[in-house]
Structure 1
Amino acid sequence: MVQRRFWQKQIEDSWKVRSVLWLSGVRRVGKTVLCQSLPDVEYFDCELPRTRRMMEDPEAFLEGLRGRRVVLDEIHRLSNPSELLKITADHYRDVRIIATGSSTLGAAQKFRDTLTGRKRDIWLTPMCLPDLKDAKQTDLERRFLRGGLPSFFLGEKVDERDFQEWMDSYWAKDIQEMFRLERKDPFQKLTELVLAQSGGIFEATHFAGPCEISRPTVTNYLRVLEATFVAHVIRPYSTRKPNEIISAPKVYGFDTGFICYYRGWQQLRRDDLGTLWEHFVLNEMMARMQTRDICYWRDKRGHEIDFVLANRGRNPIAIECKWSADRFDPTNLEAFRYLHPNGENVVLAADIKRSFGHSYGPLKVTFESLESFVSRMAPV
């Protein structure tokens, strides 16, 4: 079993701030194994009927766990999961609880209280750079093709049936149980199209016909995909300049392995690496910064910036992703900085080991490794 030390530290540090943690992430991303790897925890699998019976009286259950560290796996299986967590946060603060689920807290109908101010959220993403180091397997092309679900990445081989079995389990255990959707075929068709077309501009009307559903249904399904971390909706950065794209989002699939599978890629060409590197950069930023507050930028002439970090009150950081640094062209950054002159410009390339700067006329660009960038961007 690989010890995912980056995530173990995230949990330990978060327990110092809040007694209740919510660990979320897609199915089979490693939530259960991660929780069981923590020292001195008592593990409860809420899928088991006898476990659910133990928690029918939350106060009696928690009374017997004073001073303990507790894992409540698949807590959405309880009839009223937010009640138990709220009682813990308010009245049993010496009990440390980490509860797991496959969606944002509050997305599913069973969660009647989102516990605002009472919990700390941790989002477990597909394997990031520290995970690859812990696994002693840092081959990025393997990570791209197999994806970042631990069993897919670390296994001897990945069978095509593994992807379909994951999709069937996702529908049965996440979508039907938590969201009560009724039509499997159009939902799975949309999911497959989102993965196959990952990274592109999302127009709901373009998906309605192939999926045989209405535009509002496409929009509703996309919200479910986003709530369960299977899709990431990246919205355009804009200060409403006349020639900027201000409404059309880009949608990224959650995992490079599934993107390769639904695109039919069994071997990677050089041109594929740039696209998959962009997805990997997004996963790394989300993992290390624990945020989805990431934008892209595009103008009506077709200039585009891969990602923009635009925290309120700070100048936007423009990020370009390149598999090889020598493929960088400053044209897009120049167009962006013509409208937004202040802020840092960063090129994240897979072949950069040490950061360096380069000037293109008045445009100053930092070429940086992904590890260096996310380390300085991550919250302390």
Structure 2
Amino acid sequence: MIKRDITDIARKYSKYFSVLAIVGPRQSGKTTFVKNTFDKFDYRNLEEPDVLQFAENDARSFLEYRGKGLIVDEAQRVPQLFSYIQSIVDKNPKAKFILTGSQNFMLYEKITQSLAGRIGILKLLPFSQSELKVNSKTDIYELIFKGFYPPIHDKNIPPEVWLPNYIQTYIDRDVRQIKNITDYSLFSKFIRICAGRTGQIVNLSSISDDVGISVNTVKAWLSILETSFIITLLRPYHTNYNKRIIKAPKLYFFDTGLVASLLGIKNSQQLNEHYMKGALFENLLISELIKFYYNKAIEPPIYFWRDKLGREIDILVDTDNGILALEFKSASTANVSFSKNLEYWNNLSGNSPNNSYVFYGGEKSFSTKAAQFLPWFKLNGILNESW
């Protein structure tokens, strides 16, 4: 079994808090993780109909346990449990609960009100590059095509078989739980159109026109994808060096394999020749950045910067040691022109070239006056150095 990077901090959190929530997309490995990490805890899964009925009909009895604590899988299925858990941990501070969910608990007002100060929340995404031991021998386009969902790697299920079924299950089950959508074929069209806009500035009106839904519906459906950890909206950098900056977010998916499947890409060779190749390469590294911080229980301090003249920095990382400026280029051969926007940014912001990086699809490392050029698989090393 692949050890998850979040293991140590999850154990610490379980000591600090009476309630620990592990949230993340369906099939990201949450159940396997909690059952192995907290193997002395009792376990109950609300996906099972009889267990769900038990929880709904007799919450107090449901929450009783004999082990060191109780794991409740897919806890968002019975929101009223949270008030009962609050009462239990207030009366007995030594009580321990581990909750998992494929939706973001923080978006549930009743939950955050009930368990404020009592709950620690960690986000577990599919495998990271560090967990899969990615290195110079890794085929990057095979990695992008496969994505990082555990069943593809643990069970060697072909991504072209597993991912379309995952997408259908997500629409049929998870979307139905979050919001009562009547036209699921239209939602399917929506998510595929979002995949085609990976790495782009979100244009609500354009998506509205392409799907044939209102702008307010686009907003609501984007929120569904965010809530269930399918997409993330990357915000622009907040410091206003220049009034002519873009303020709308950019859209990325948490998993590149999911994007490839939604785009109808059949294999890694087709991906290597696809017009979305650069966007998927960029998405791969941005999702890795997010996982790096989530696995340390930190909201990722990452942004993009772009002005209205089109000058752009793919990622700015706001660290304790200053801003890291990162550019991502899928080309296997480096070109010094890749760092032209970094040079502009450094002059504008006073940022040091020592904190500026171009991660590209090749294997050589070198420096220019504007930035350091590094292979894509060295991103984690730089993040760890800046930590």
Task: Specify if TM > 0.5.
Answer: yes
* Distance in 1 between residues matched to 2:258 and 2:150, nearest whole Å: 13
- Select between 112-121 and 223-232 the one with higher mean Cα deviation: 112-121
1:206 maps to 206
Q: Is the Cα contact below 8 Å between 2:159 and 2:257 reproduced in 1?
A: no
- Using structure 2 for the length normalisation, give the TM-score: 0.83
1:302 maps to 310
* Distance in 2 between residues matched to 1:254 and 1:74, nearest whole Å: 20
> What is the CA deviation profile of residues 294-337 of structure 1, one whole-angstrom value per residue up to 9, with x for unaligned ones?
211112222211111236x8743211123447245221012222
Aligned pair partner of 1:321 in 322, 328, 351: 328
Q: Is the Cα contact below 8 Å between 2:198 and 2:279 reproduced in 1?
A: no
Long gaps (5+) in structure 2: none
1:231 maps to 231
Are positions 1:375 and 2:377 aligned together? no
Q: For residues 374 and 223 of structure 1, do their structure 2 counterparts lie closer, same or farther at Cα, with a shift above 3 Å needed?
A: same
Superposition map of 1:1-40 within 5 A: 2-38=1-37, 39-40=39-40
Aligned pair partner of 2:279 in 275, 278, 303: 275
* Distance in 2 between residues matched to 1:262 and 1:64, nearest whole Å: 42
Paired letter, 1:346: Y
* Distance in 2 between residues matched to 1:196 and 1:170, nearest whole Å: 19
Q: Is the Cα contact below 8 Å between 1:58 and 1:87 reproduced in 2?
A: no
Q: Is the Cα contact below 8 Å between 1:108 and 1:178 reproduced in 2?
A: no
Q: For residues 89 and 364 of structure 1, do their structure 2 counterparts lie closer, same or farther at Cα, with a shift above 3 Å needed?
A: farther
2:359 maps to 348
- Select between 289-298 and 84-93 the one with higher mean Cα deviation: 84-93
Q: For residues 315 and 130 of structure 1, do their structure 2 counterparts lie closer, same or farther at Cα, with a shift above 3 Å needed?
A: closer
> What is the CA deviation profile of residues 333-376 of structure 1, one whole-angstrom value per residue up to 9, with x for unaligned ones?
122223211363233346568x86x341xx45474821212324
1:75 maps to 75
Q: Is the Cα contact below 8 Å between 2:241 and 2:349 reproduced in 1?
A: no
Paired letter, 1:345: S
Q: Give 3-state SS (helix, strand or coil) of 1:113's partner.
A: helix
* Distance in 1 between residues matched to 2:160 and 2:77, nearest whole Å: 29
1:246 maps to 246
Q: Give 3-state SS (helix, strand or coil) of 1:98's partner.
A: strand
> What is the CA deviation profile of residues 201-251 of structure 1, one whole-angstrom value per residue up to 9, with x for unaligned ones?
210111112211111111121112112111110111143344532312110
Q: Is the Cα contact below 8 Å between 1:318 and 1:346 reproduced in 2?
A: yes
Paired letter, 1:101: G
Q: For residues 133 and 92 of structure 1, do their structure 2 counterparts lie closer, same or farther at Cα, with a shift above 3 Å needed?
A: farther
Paired letter, 1:318: A
Q: Is the Cα contact below 8 Å between 2:164 and 2:261 reproduced in 1?
A: no
Paired letter, 2:306: R
Paired letter, 2:12: D
Q: Give 3-state SS (helix, strand or coil) of 1:16's partner.
A: helix
Superposition map of 1:179-198 within 5 A: 179-198=179-198
Q: Is the Cα contact below 8 Å between 2:315 and 2:327 reproduced in 1?
A: yes
Paired letter, 1:29: S
Q: Is the Cα contact below 8 Å between 2:42 and 2:65 reproduced in 1?
A: no
* Distance in 1 between residues matched to 2:289 and 2:210, nearest whole Å: 32
* Distance in 2 between residues matched to 1:351 and 1:79, nearest whole Å: 49
Are positions 1:168 and 2:168 aligned together? yes
Are positions 1:337 and 2:346 aligned together? yes
Superposition map of 1:20-99 within 5 A: 20-38=19-37, 39-52=39-52, 54-55=54-55, 56-65=57-66, 68-99=68-99
Q: CA RMSD in A?
A: 3.0
Q: Is the Cα contact below 8 Å between 1:128 and 1:284 reproduced in 2?
A: yes
Paired letter, 1:76: Q
* Distance in 1 between residues matched to 2:176 and 2:300, nearest whole Å: 25
* Distance in 2 between residues matched to 1:295 and 1:84, nearest whole Å: 39
Q: For residues 86 and 347 of structure 1, do their structure 2 counterparts lie closer, same or farther at Cα, with a shift above 3 Å needed?
A: farther
Q: For residues 23 and 326 of structure 1, do their structure 2 counterparts lie closer, same or farther at Cα, with a shift above 3 Å needed?
A: same
Paired letter, 1:129: Q
Q: Give 3-state SS (helix, strand or coil) of 2:115's partner.
A: coil
* Distance in 1 between residues matched to 2:221 and 2:68, nearest whole Å: 39
* Distance in 2 between residues matched to 1:158 and 1:250, nearest whole Å: 30
Long gaps (5+) in structure 1: none
Identity of aligned residues (%): 26
Q: Is the Cα contact below 8 Å between 1:289 and 1:377 reproduced in 2?
A: no
Q: Is the Cα contact below 8 Å between 1:277 and 1:322 reproduced in 2?
A: yes
Paired letter, 2:21: W
Paired letter, 1:335: Y
Q: Give 3-state SS (helix, strand or coil) of 1:347's partner.
A: strand
1:151 maps to 151
> What is the CA deviation profile of residues 126-158 of structure 1, one whole-angstrom value per residue up to 9, with x for unaligned ones?
210232139xx9554332111111113444452
* Distance in 1 between residues matched to 2:114 and 2:190, nearest whole Å: 28
- Using structure 1 for the length normalisation, give the TM-score: 0.85
